[in-house]
Structure 1
Amino acid sequence: MKKLENVEQYKEIIQDKVVLLFSADWCPDCRFIEPFLPEIEETYNEFTFYYVNRDQFIDLCIELDVFGIPSFIAYAEGNELGRFVSKDRKTQDEIEQFLNGL
Protein backbone atom coordinates (compact mmCIF):
# COMPACT_ATOMS: atom_id res chain seq x y z
CA MET A 1 0.00 0.00 0.00
CA LYS A 2 1.30 3.41 -0.94
CA LYS A 3 1.33 6.28 1.54
CA LEU A 4 -0.12 9.70 0.87
CA GLU A 5 2.75 12.17 1.12
CA ASN A 6 0.99 15.55 0.74
CA VAL A 7 -2.28 17.23 -0.20
CA GLU A 8 -1.04 17.99 -3.72
CA GLN A 9 -0.55 14.27 -4.25
CA TYR A 10 -4.12 13.67 -3.02
CA LYS A 11 -5.46 16.03 -5.68
CA GLU A 12 -3.51 14.13 -8.36
CA ILE A 13 -4.22 10.54 -7.32
CA ILE A 14 -8.00 10.94 -7.08
CA GLN A 15 -7.96 11.34 -10.86
CA ASP A 16 -7.12 7.62 -11.02
CA LYS A 17 -8.99 4.66 -9.52
CA VAL A 18 -7.91 4.79 -5.90
CA VAL A 19 -9.07 3.70 -2.49
CA LEU A 20 -7.89 5.84 0.40
CA LEU A 21 -7.56 4.13 3.77
CA PHE A 22 -7.71 6.65 6.60
CA SER A 23 -5.89 5.22 9.57
CA ALA A 24 -3.46 5.95 12.42
CA ASP A 25 -0.67 4.05 14.11
CA TRP A 26 -2.35 4.24 17.52
CA CYS A 27 -5.72 2.86 16.33
CA PRO A 28 -6.41 -0.75 17.47
CA ASP A 29 -9.24 -1.24 14.95
CA CYS A 30 -6.84 -0.14 12.20
CA ARG A 31 -4.32 -2.77 13.32
CA PHE A 32 -7.10 -5.38 13.22
CA ILE A 33 -7.55 -5.00 9.42
CA GLU A 34 -3.82 -5.00 8.56
CA PRO A 35 -3.43 -8.80 8.20
CA PHE A 36 -5.98 -9.07 5.38
CA LEU A 37 -5.31 -5.77 3.56
CA PRO A 38 -2.71 -7.33 1.18
CA GLU A 39 -5.30 -9.90 0.05
CA ILE A 40 -7.88 -7.16 -0.50
CA GLU A 41 -5.36 -5.10 -2.51
CA GLU A 42 -4.58 -8.14 -4.67
CA THR A 43 -8.24 -8.99 -5.23
CA TYR A 44 -9.24 -5.42 -6.08
CA ASN A 45 -6.16 -4.59 -8.13
CA GLU A 46 -8.09 -2.26 -10.44
CA PHE A 47 -7.64 0.23 -7.59
CA THR A 48 -4.45 1.67 -6.16
CA PHE A 49 -4.65 1.73 -2.37
CA TYR A 50 -3.23 4.62 -0.34
CA TYR A 51 -2.71 4.84 3.39
CA VAL A 52 -3.68 8.27 4.73
CA ASN A 53 -2.35 9.01 8.19
CA ARG A 54 -5.25 10.69 9.97
CA ASP A 55 -2.95 12.60 12.33
CA GLN A 56 -0.77 13.92 9.51
CA PHE A 57 -3.74 14.92 7.33
CA ILE A 58 -6.29 16.06 9.91
CA ASP A 59 -7.38 19.04 7.75
CA LEU A 60 -8.05 16.74 4.80
CA CYS A 61 -10.03 14.42 7.08
CA ILE A 62 -12.14 17.36 8.25
CA GLU A 63 -12.67 18.50 4.65
CA LEU A 64 -13.79 14.98 3.67
CA ASP A 65 -15.92 14.39 6.81
CA VAL A 66 -13.77 11.49 7.98
CA PHE A 67 -14.16 11.55 11.75
CA GLY A 68 -13.76 7.84 12.46
CA ILE A 69 -11.05 5.38 11.52
CA PRO A 70 -10.39 3.05 9.87
CA SER A 71 -12.36 4.48 6.96
CA PHE A 72 -12.27 4.09 3.20
CA ILE A 73 -13.11 6.47 0.35
CA ALA A 74 -12.88 5.39 -3.30
CA TYR A 75 -12.33 7.77 -6.22
CA ALA A 76 -12.14 7.62 -10.00
CA GLU A 77 -11.61 10.50 -12.41
CA GLY A 78 -11.77 12.97 -9.53
CA ASN A 79 -15.21 11.81 -8.39
CA GLU A 80 -16.04 10.00 -5.20
CA LEU A 81 -17.31 6.50 -6.01
CA GLY A 82 -18.23 5.56 -2.47
CA ARG A 83 -17.28 5.74 1.17
CA PHE A 84 -17.16 3.36 4.08
CA VAL A 85 -16.64 5.87 6.86
CA SER A 86 -17.29 5.15 10.52
CA LYS A 87 -15.43 4.65 13.77
CA ASP A 88 -16.42 0.99 13.92
CA ARG A 89 -14.08 -1.98 13.49
CA LYS A 90 -14.40 -3.38 9.97
CA THR A 91 -14.18 -7.00 8.92
CA GLN A 92 -12.67 -8.30 5.70
CA ASP A 93 -16.16 -9.23 4.51
CA GLU A 94 -17.51 -5.72 5.17
CA ILE A 95 -14.62 -4.09 3.30
CA GLU A 96 -15.07 -6.48 0.36
CA GLN A 97 -18.82 -5.75 0.29
CA PHE A 98 -18.04 -2.04 0.13
CA LEU A 99 -15.56 -2.54 -2.74
CA ASN A 100 -17.95 -4.86 -4.61
CA GLY A 101 -20.60 -2.15 -4.44
CA LEU A 102 -18.48 0.47 -6.20
Structure 2
Amino acid sequence: MSIKLLDFYADWCGPCKTQDPILDELEADYTEVAFEKINVDDEQDIANQYEVRSLPTVVVENDDGVVDRFIGVTQREDIEAAIQQAL
Protein backbone atom coordinates (compact mmCIF):
# COMPACT_ATOMS: atom_id res chain seq x y z
CA MET A 1 0.00 0.00 0.00
CA SER A 2 1.35 3.43 -0.86
CA ILE A 3 1.00 6.27 1.61
CA LYS A 4 1.35 9.96 0.84
CA LEU A 5 1.45 13.03 3.00
CA LEU A 6 0.54 16.16 1.06
CA ASP A 7 1.72 19.44 2.58
CA PHE A 8 -0.22 22.35 1.07
CA TYR A 9 1.63 25.60 1.75
CA ALA A 10 2.57 29.02 0.37
CA ASP A 11 5.85 30.90 0.63
CA TRP A 12 4.10 33.85 2.29
CA CYS A 13 2.38 31.67 4.94
CA GLY A 14 3.90 32.14 8.42
CA PRO A 15 2.11 29.15 10.02
CA CYS A 16 3.39 26.98 7.15
CA LYS A 17 6.96 27.82 8.17
CA THR A 18 6.07 26.79 11.75
CA GLN A 19 4.75 23.45 10.46
CA ASP A 20 7.85 22.68 8.35
CA PRO A 21 10.17 21.35 11.11
CA ILE A 22 7.45 18.96 12.32
CA LEU A 23 6.98 17.55 8.83
CA ASP A 24 10.76 17.34 8.30
CA GLU A 25 11.08 15.19 11.44
CA LEU A 26 8.24 12.92 10.33
CA GLU A 27 9.74 12.55 6.86
CA ALA A 28 13.03 11.41 8.42
CA ASP A 29 11.21 8.87 10.62
CA TYR A 30 8.76 7.50 8.03
CA THR A 31 10.79 6.72 4.94
CA GLU A 32 7.97 4.51 3.62
CA VAL A 33 5.71 7.56 3.29
CA ALA A 34 5.96 9.84 0.25
CA PHE A 35 6.02 13.45 1.47
CA GLU A 36 4.95 16.00 -1.14
CA LYS A 37 5.09 19.77 -0.72
CA ILE A 38 2.49 21.52 -2.84
CA ASN A 39 2.74 25.29 -3.24
CA VAL A 40 -0.88 26.42 -3.63
CA ASP A 41 0.18 29.51 -5.58
CA ASP A 42 1.84 27.33 -8.22
CA GLU A 43 -0.51 24.31 -8.10
CA GLN A 44 -3.99 25.81 -7.80
CA ASP A 45 -5.61 22.89 -9.65
CA ILE A 46 -4.30 20.34 -7.12
CA ALA A 47 -5.28 22.59 -4.20
CA ASN A 48 -8.80 22.86 -5.63
CA GLN A 49 -8.98 19.10 -6.19
CA TYR A 50 -8.26 18.60 -2.47
CA GLU A 51 -10.55 21.51 -1.50
CA VAL A 52 -7.79 23.39 0.30
CA ARG A 53 -9.23 26.59 1.76
CA SER A 54 -6.77 27.38 4.59
CA LEU A 55 -3.04 27.03 5.10
CA PRO A 56 -1.25 25.01 6.12
CA THR A 57 -3.28 21.96 5.17
CA VAL A 58 -1.84 18.46 5.53
CA VAL A 59 -3.56 15.49 3.90
CA VAL A 60 -2.60 11.89 4.65
CA GLU A 61 -3.82 9.37 2.10
CA ASN A 62 -3.32 5.77 1.10
CA ASP A 63 -4.61 3.61 -1.74
CA ASP A 64 -8.12 3.74 -0.22
CA GLY A 65 -8.21 7.55 -0.27
CA VAL A 66 -7.87 10.32 2.30
CA VAL A 67 -7.21 8.96 5.79
CA ASP A 68 -7.08 12.32 7.58
CA ARG A 69 -6.80 16.05 6.96
CA PHE A 70 -5.32 18.73 9.21
CA ILE A 71 -5.88 22.46 8.86
CA GLY A 72 -3.56 24.88 10.62
CA VAL A 73 -0.40 24.10 12.53
CA THR A 74 -0.80 20.55 13.82
CA GLN A 75 1.10 18.69 16.51
CA ARG A 76 3.44 15.91 15.45
CA GLU A 77 1.51 13.32 17.47
CA ASP A 78 -1.71 13.98 15.58
CA ILE A 79 -0.09 13.68 12.15
CA GLU A 80 1.84 10.62 13.28
CA ALA A 81 -1.40 8.94 14.40
CA ALA A 82 -2.86 9.50 10.92
CA ILE A 83 0.25 8.03 9.30
CA GLN A 84 -0.01 4.97 11.56
CA GLN A 85 -3.68 4.61 10.64
CA ALA A 86 -2.78 4.79 6.93
CA LEU A 87 -0.09 2.11 7.18
TM-score band (shorter)? Answer: 0.7 to 0.9
Distance 2:68 2:42 in 1: 20
Displaced runs of 4 or more, over 4 A = none
Indicate whether 1:53 and 2:39 are aligned. Answer: yes
- Over aligned residue pairs, what C-alpha RMSD do you find? 2.1
Q: Give the one of 3, 6, 9 matched to 1:23.
A: 9
Q: State the number of aligned residues.
A: 86
Q: Where do 5+ consecutive residues of structure 1 fail to align? A: 1-14
Query: Displacement of 1:51 after TM fit?
Result: 0.4
- Structure with bigger RCO (C-alpha 8 Å, 6+ apart): 2
Q: Give aligned-pair identity as a percent.
A: 24
Q: Where do 5+ consecutive residues of structure 2 fail to align? A: none
Instruction: Kindly indicate which of the two structures has a greater share of residues assigned to strand.
Output: 2
One-letter amino acid matched to 1:98: A
Q: TM-score, normalised by structure 2?
A: 0.78
Q: TM-score, normalised by structure 1?
A: 0.69
Distance 2:15 2:73 in 1: 5
